[in-house]
Structures are given as C-alpha cells and as structure tokens.
Chains A and B, each alone.
Chain A
Amino acid sequence: MWRDAVLVGGKDLRIEARSRVAANQIVPFAVLVLILFAFALDADRGVLTRAAAGLFWVAVLFSAVLAVQRAQAVESSVGTGDALRLSGLDPAGIFLGKAGAVAVQLLVLEVVLGAGVVLLYDVEPAGYPTLAATAVAATLGVAAAGTLYGALAAGSRVSETLLPLLLLPAVAPVLIAATRASEAALGTSALPVAAGDWLALLGVLAVVYVAFGVVAFGPLMEEQ
C-alpha cells in the first residue's frame, strides 16, 4: 500500500512539476484571493490583521478545490483512469498517493500564502510549532476529504460544480479548527483560546477522512 502510495504520489507531483499548473495558476489564484479580501475588508483598519487566520484558511480551502479538480483531471484524460485501475495498484495506496500529492502542493501553497499574509495583512509571525502542526493536520484532512469527494464527483459533466458543494460543508470543521489554532499561535484572537483542543480536533478530522478514504476508495474506483 505505502509503496503504491509513493508511486502514485510521485507521479502526480512529477506531472505538476512539469506542467506547472499548480505553480502558474493555483498559487497566483490564492494570492489574488488574499488581495481581494483586502479590497472587501478595508485594508487600513486592522480588520485584516485580526481576521488574517480565517482569511488564510478560506484561501487555502478555495485553492484546495482547484487542486483536487486538477488531481482528478489528470486521471480523466485519455483513459489514464482505466490504466490506473488496471495497473493492479492497491486502491488504498492510490488514494493515499493522490491525497499525499495534493497535501504536498497545499503545504507549499500555505508557505507562500503565509508570507503573503505577513506582508499584506501586517501579521506578526509567532508560535511556529503550533502553526506548523496546524498546517500539517489541517492540510491532511482537507487533502483526504478533497480526494475522496473528488472521486465521488468524478466522471460526470457536472463534477466541477458538484465538488465545491460536496467538499466545503464537509471541511467546515477543518476551517473552524485551523482558524482558531492559528489565532492562538499568532495571538490575534480577541478571546483567550487554547490551541491544544483545536489541534486535537484537527487530528481527529484528518484521521477520519484518511481512514474513510482508505476504506471507500476501492469500491469507488471499481465502478468508474
């Protein structure tokens, strides 16, 4: 399973490295979202600084929708999905590989967005270990849920509009928990919040989505 996951994840990341769709389209999109938030929230009044953690994670979620659609698109062209199914790879491994590749891309994106938030929203970076743990746990959860819902919505003409509707309510708890944990790390929350509980919730969410995907991906691949 793990060997297959590394194979599939490596393949997806190689495709992204060569096609540069993530680097040339998804990352600029995410930065653009940060800039649009500044227009919407009046950049001069400190609102952005206070809301930075939440806006950061909303931008990550929107970008995750695009990243998952991209990960599905590479399998739907010219029968690559069939080839993958006939390859004899473990479906759980394929799921972990694809989710892992999305997670790696999202983590890179988060570093760029983090720099964007510091520069554009006047946020003082702090609490690095908490931020890093939040990023890893939240990203795992979003990538696993996204890959799972991507497979559910795949193969239809409406999959692009269906995916956000399916995915965003399901990752709402990730957004809440990641935002609160980040606020605790940065100290931007109006109320004193402890990061520990939120980190634990993020961990549970990641485990649930990954476990669900490992179990359900096989049956979902069979019928496509």
Chain B
Amino acid sequence: MNEPRNRTSTASPLTLSLGLAALLSLGATVALGLSLPATVEQGEYSRLIAIHPGVAWASYVSFGVTALASALWLWPRTRAPRWDLLAGASAEIGVVFTALTLATGSIWGRPTWGVWWVWDARLTLSALMLALYLGYLALRRVPNPPDARARRSAVAALLAVAVVPLNHFAVDWWRTLHQGRSLAQIDPGNDLDGAFIGAMLLGFLAMTLVYAWLLVHRVRVARLEDEVEEASLAVALEERRAEALVAP
C-alpha cells in the first residue's frame, strides 16, 4: 500500500480513485435496484436483492482477508506488523457488514416471513459469526504488548475461521427455512431474473469496492495510531529524563 503523502491524512491517489469507483458503483446499484420491478411474492422488498447479498458477500471477504493476514503473521517467514494491522482492520469492517447483513435481512424478513427474526440456519449462522468476531475485536482491545496481541489475535482469527463452517453444519442440520443460495435459484433465461441478477452482481462489485476503500483507510489509521503511541512514549521518556536532569 502507498504511503500517505500527508502524515496526518489517510488519503492518497489510490484511495481517491478507489473511493470514486466505490461511490459510482454504489450509486449505480441503488439506481438499478430502485428501477427493478416489484415482484408478485415479495413486492417492493425484492429490490433488497441489490444490497443484501452484496453486503453478505463483503462480510465473507472481510473475514477471509482477516484469516489470510493472520496466517501470514503466524508464518515466521512472512511475519510483519502490517499483517496484524490488516487482520484487525478487515475484521472491524467485516463486523459492520455482518451487522448490515442481519439488518437488511430482517427488513426483508418482516414483510416476507411476517417476523423480524426466524431461527433459520443462515440467519443463526450470521448471528453466531457476528458474536465470534465481536469476541475477536474485544480480544484485540485487551492491553497487551504488540507481539502478544498479534499472536493471540491471529490464533483467534484462525480458530474463528475453523468454527464458522462447523457452525454452518450444525445450524444447517438444525433447521433450514432460508431459501437456497441466491445465485443457484435464478433462471438466466427469464428477462426479469436477468435484471435481478444484474443488480445483484453490481451490488457484489459495489460492496467489494466499498470494503477495499474502507480497508485501506482503516489500515492507515491503525498505522498512524501506532506511530502516535510510539511518539508519545518517546516524549514521555524525554520528559522524565529532563526532570531527572533538573532535579538536584
């Protein structure tokens, strides 16, 4: 990732162009989503297909990146502080996207299923995933030396990635009401489905760009935070040293 030009800013030509692309694709997704026709079964709410699957996808991408960065930190040959920063930043964004997945799912579920929440397999899995990664973020906030924090967080992230598929099996067998995977259900021969599939794929792209834009900024903020912490330690040491020189 490029160094920000200004030490107090996290913006750079890369983030500007990324941000612009994210904004444009998000705008196009909203426009296309709103132009979709209302369907017989789900009415106006079918338009959420432009947003909901994309948001869910972005949460999976986030946690995937967290796992990959954690593995790179744990592997001695690739160990570097930036992987820890990347893992933490990606998990934070992933939690936001998971919460958005649950929120948009509930908004869709209320008129379609008649309730805000059902104990369906994938809803339950998302809620468990949210709890797992909230725990991961809480672990990251525990005051520890940077190396210890990175090591514990990396182990927790890999453990979380191992647990998600197990949770998936358990809740899947437990009960399944949720429709099948969105892509597997659509019949490409149908014009109506074609519009929906386009909106959904555009949503995937927009959310991925938003994720990437947020990620670059968040990693840079984390790096600045670390620098401030180091600088304040140096300042404090200097002050104590000065006191010692003044004292009789």
Which A residues fall within an 8 A CB radius of B?
148-149, 152-153, 155-156, 158-159, 162, 165-166, 168-170, 172-173, 176-177, 180, 197-198, 201, 204-205, 208, 212, 216, 219-220, 223-224
Contact = CB atoms under 8 A, between A and B. Distances in A.
B171 A176 contact: yes
Nearest to B170: A173
B162 A152 contact: no
Given A172-B167, A216-B155, A201 B173 contact: yes
A205 B169 CA distance: 11
A156 B142 contact: yes
A75 to B, nearest CB: 16
A176 B148 CA distance: 33
B162 A205 contact: no
A191 to B, nearest CB: 10
Interface string B10-23: 00000000000000
B151 A223 contact: yes
Contacts of B156: 152, 166
A176 B168 CA distance: 11
A148 B160 CA distance: 12
Contact of B151 (A159, A170, A198, A219): A219
Contact of B159 (A168, A205, A212, A224): A212
Interface string B115-153: 000000000000010011011101100111101100110
A201 B167 CA distance: 10
B128 A197 contact: no
Nearest to A159: B142
Contacts of A176: 170-171, 173-174
A201 B148 contact: no
B163 interface: yes
B135 A166 contact: yes
Interface in B177-191: none
Contacts of A216: 155, 158-159
Interface residues of B, number: 31
Contacts of A159: 142
A170 B132 contact: yes
Contacts of B135: 162, 165-166, 169
Nearest to A162: B138
A170 B156 CA distance: 10
Contact of A169 (B128, B155, B158, B173): B128
A170 B143 contact: no
A169 B131 contact: yes
A220 to B, nearest CB: 6
A198 B169 CA distance: 10
Pairs A-B, 3 closest by C-beta atoms:
A173-B170, A169-B131, A166-B135
A155 B144 CA distance: 9
B167 to A, nearest CB: 5
B63 to A, nearest CB: 13
25 contacts: A148-B159, A152-B139, A152-B152, A153-B139, A153-B142, A155-B144, A156-B144, A158-B142, A162-B139, A165-B135, A166-B136, A166-B138, A166-B156, A169-B131, A169-B135, A172-B167, A176-B171, A176-B173, A176-B174, A177-B170, A219-B155, A220-B151, A223-B145, A223-B152, A224-B148
